[in-house]
Chains A and B, each alone.
Chain A
Amino acid sequence: MAAERAIAQIDQTIICRGCQAEIPLETFIQALKVCSTCDAHAALGARERLDLLVDRETFVENDTDLYSINPLNFPNYESKLERDTKKTKLPYELLTGEGEIGGHQVNLAIGDVGFIGGTMGSVAGEKLTRTIERATQNRLPLITVSVSGGMRMQEGTLALMQMQKTAAACVRHSEAGLFYISIVTDPTYGGATASFVSLGHVVIAEPYARIGFAGPRAVAGIHEQLPDNFQKSEFLLEHGMIDCIVHRHQMQSFLVSLLDWVN
């Protein structure tokens, strides 16, 4: 996560959010930010995720020129955008482009939770749609890595419409006979889950990722007790809502085997 990148100095340790274990930062990073004690998968920035999945020096980024504005004149939206641009060193919330995974050419979209909670507004919607459309045009598989706080409140109903825009693009990609792998990471909620995320032909979650439609606070507000794994990957697998859970260390090779299968 952005905060972790910011403190990336050699002789430092981090505290695992899962088990409170103290882990030397270098060990932590070598383990792809997975805790060696409890296996918790910490958040990755979009760039880190990219390095993890895509063959070295094959990635070409697209649509870097899009940025969020404040179309509805929502109070304090600009200052939040500015703050998170600085924090993530990304001018946008979604990294998109083309690259190779195990030699397979794919189109990719990777979210970053550091950008207004990874919420989805017009920019993410447009970049994702362009990526899906390019995949359709070039007859390539599509891979999305989601992390999302839902649709972006500050862009109102415009943000809501991104659900349909992206879902419709997924449908066309699928109707063209092309393959879509949706990877879901912690946390993914709201309109993202209820649109393109759930339309993957294969939906893969990282272990223990929080995934749902309703925000956890809303659900907790009407139920006294919820199962420990409520809205976690394991819960979704148990209820038949995702295809599989794949450990971060195996994710890249898992993708390669799926891509081998379709090609």
Chain B
Amino acid sequence: MQSKLNFEKPLIELDTQLQQLKAFAGANPEIDISKGLTALEENAKAQTRKIFKKLTRWDKVQLSRHEQRPQSFAYIDALFDDPVELHGDKCYGDDRALVGGLAWFEEQPIVYLAQQKGRDLKERQEMSFGYTRPEGYRKAKRLMKLAEKFDRPIISLVDTPGAHFDRGSEERGQSVAIAENLAEMARLPVPILVVVIGEGGSGGALAIAAGDRVLMMEYAIYCVAPPEACSGIVWKDNGEHAPEAAEGYKPIAEDLIQLSIIDGIIREPLGGAHRNPVQATRNVKKAIKKHLADLITIDRDTLVQQRYDRYRRLGVYGERMDAV
């Protein structure tokens, strides 16, 4: 089943036409249809550009959660050599929504952290649809410490609707687990490079995202809570105002770079990462390569100080000059 968003429907139709035409060409090699094919392809591209230029923030929220959107599996495959996944928090369990381990990025040994939602129902259940539990954060903390011990940079791929909100997560200290990761990242003397590849949902994302550089894919989001939850809190409803919430609290890459919350936007292939995952992973690889090369030249004290300053500056408020 091909899942699609409303604004994608005309594009999917053009795709189907293109495929039919290609199939026809394959079956009838004596007929030259290359002109027609090129025209149709150009038309499809133009249509896509036109539609994507007008996307609302809510549309982009949908794209960030698109069922076919490449998940961290694809990036781990494409970016890293010889990844070795390390399991468990050595305390209670192994959260499948947040994985991590040792790998090579080009010639550089790194530690990777990656959130995943699952690609089919079985995986989604196993990974709790990407909602991370305290065990996931504690595993991440353990891997951060390992990175410190062997002086390896951390590459963190963020994709979660948020931290898990079930009874067990509360019982096992979701708050403490997240808080301790924030504290860990505040002092960790190795480079931390973050890419938000899909949804960066609230503290659940921040718990592995308080890095030196935070990059976002063009159609990723990074928000204080999912738009549905924001709607519930602000409009006191069951999420019906999610599109207004998304418009209001500015969760997309273009918004966040203006607020200096992120350091770069990684462009996605025309139509979104899911339309061309190979190109998407290539773009991410290029961006990581550039930023990692920068970060590893910075001496460790400077790095930690710069990271402190990076978050210290964030916030917008008024200051009365006439106050007593």
Q: B-contacting residues of A (Cβ < 8 Å)? A: 64-69, 71-75, 121-123, 125-126, 129, 149-165, 167-172, 175, 190-191, 193-199, 212-215, 217-219, 222-223, 226, 230-231, 235, 239-241
Min CB distance, B311 to chain A, in Å? 5
Q: A153-B224, A194-B179 are in contact. Are A158 and B323 (CB under 8 A)?
A: no
B182 and A195 contacting across the interface, CB-CB below 8 Å:
yes
Q: Given B179, B312, B317, which contacts A66 in the complex, CB threshold below 8 Å?
A: B317
B170 contact set on A, CB distance < 8 A: 212-214, 219, 230-231
Q: Is B145 an interface residue (CB 8 A)?
A: no
A164 and B210 contacting across the interface, CB-CB below 8 Å:
yes
Q: Given A123, A153, A226, which contacts B245 in the complex, CB threshold below 8 Å?
A: A153
Q: How far is the CA of A191 from the CA of B182 in the complex (A)?
A: 11
Secondary structure of the A contact surface, majority rule: helix
B230 and A160 contacting across the interface, CB-CB below 8 Å:
no
Which among B108-116, B159-167, B272-280, B287-295 touches the partner chain?
Answer: B159-167
Q: How far is the CA of A199 from the CA of B223 in the complex (A)?
A: 23
Secondary structure of the B contact surface, majority rule: helix
CB under 8 Å from chain A, chain B span 133-189 = 163-167, 169-176, 178-180, 182-183, 185-187
B187 and A193 contacting across the interface, CB-CB below 8 Å:
no
A152 contact set on B, CB distance < 8 A: 224
Q: Is B58 an interface residue (CB 8 A)?
A: no
Min CB distance, A205 to chain B, in Å? 12
B165 contact set on A, CB distance < 8 A: 213-215, 218-219, 222
In the complex, residue of chain A having the shortest beta-carbon distance to the beta carbon of B172: A239
* Residue of A64, A150, A153, A158 with most chain B CB atoms under a 10 A cut-off: A153
Report the interface size class on chain B. 35 or more
A167 and B186 contacting across the interface, CB-CB below 8 Å:
yes
Min CB distance, B193 to chain A, in Å? 16
A123 contact set on B, CB distance < 8 A: 315, 317
Q: Is B318 an interface residue (CB 8 A)?
A: yes
Q: Is B102 an interface residue (CB 8 A)?
A: no
Q: How far is the CA of A218 from the CA of B169 in the complex (A)?
A: 12
Q: How far is the CA of A196 from the CA of B166 in the complex (A)?
A: 22
B89 contact set on A, CB distance < 8 A: none
Q: How far is the CA of A154 from the CA of B230 in the complex (A)?
A: 9
In the complex, residue of chain B having the shortest beta-carbon distance to the beta carbon of A65: B323
A165 contact set on B, CB distance < 8 A: 311-312, 314-315
Other A-B contacts than A156-B224, A199-B179, A215-B229, 8 sampled, CB-CB below 8 A, are A69-B316, A121-B317, A126-B317, A160-B223, A167-B210, A195-B203, A213-B169, A218-B229
Q: List 7 A-B contacts (CB under 8 A).
A: A65-B321, A75-B248, A126-B317, A151-B202, A194-B163, A199-B180, A222-B166
Q: How far is the CA of A71 from the CA of B161 in the complex (A)?
A: 24
Q: Given A153, A161, A162, A230, which contacts B249 in the complex, CB threshold below 8 Å?
A: A153
A159 contact set on B, CB distance < 8 A: 224
B183 and A158 contacting across the interface, CB-CB below 8 Å:
no
Interface 1/0 per residue, B221-236 and A, CB below 8 Å: 0111100011011100
Q: Is B320 an interface residue (CB 8 A)?
A: yes
B174 and A168 contacting across the interface, CB-CB below 8 Å:
no
A122 contact set on B, CB distance < 8 A: 315-317
Q: Is B265 an interface residue (CB 8 A)?
A: no
Q: Is B87 an interface residue (CB 8 A)?
A: no
Q: How far is the CA of A155 from the CA of B225 in the complex (A)?
A: 11
B179 and A164 contacting across the interface, CB-CB below 8 Å:
no
B186 and A212 contacting across the interface, CB-CB below 8 Å:
no
Q: How far is the CA of A169 from the CA of B308 in the complex (A)?
A: 8
A71 contact set on B, CB distance < 8 A: 259, 316
